[in-house]
């Protein structure tokens, strides 16, 4: 976590589905631990562009994991959008389909 946090701008904005905002990675992980035993990303691709000195990176793929009840899920689409300023992540936006019923997502 410490190493990953070195890539964040001091005033990073992290926004997850439902408008959940986090000031740092520790807050983000703590919030996830209230919902999931584990989550893993399977990457399908990356798109990178630059706009007026800001590097924008889109990461997309699927999530798989297990919720706190032991229910497994897989094939959940996600997109992360990062804005990098001076080589640091200034904004991170997350979109995913975890709100969709697990049976629809291919869970058990």
| Structural domains for the chain | 2-105 (3.10.450.50)
**Cα dist. 5→9, 10, 13, 39 in Å?**
9, 9, 13, 19
Q: Return the structure tokens found at 13.
A: 């904005």
Collapsing DSSP states into helix, strand and coil, what is residue 80?
strand
pLDDT digits (tens, 9 = 90+) for 85-100: 999 999 999 999 987 5
- Average pLDDT, integer, range 31-54: 95
pLDDT digits (tens, 9 = 90+) for 27-42: 999 988 988 999 999 9
């Amino acid at each position: 976590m410490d190493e990953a946090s070195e890539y964040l701008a001091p005033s990073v904005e992290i926004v997850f589905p439902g408008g959940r905002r986090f000031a740092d990675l520790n807050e983000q992980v703590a919030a996830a631990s209230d919902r999931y035993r584990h989550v893993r990303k399977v990457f399908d691709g990356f798109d990178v562009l630059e706009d007026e000195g800001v590097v924008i990176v889109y990461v997309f793929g699927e999530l798989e994991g297990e919720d706190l009840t032991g229910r497994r899920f897989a094939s959940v689409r996600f997109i992360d959008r990062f804005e990098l300023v001076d080589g640091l992540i200034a904004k991170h936006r997350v979109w995913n389909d975890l709100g969709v019923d697990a049976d629809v997502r291919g869970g058990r």
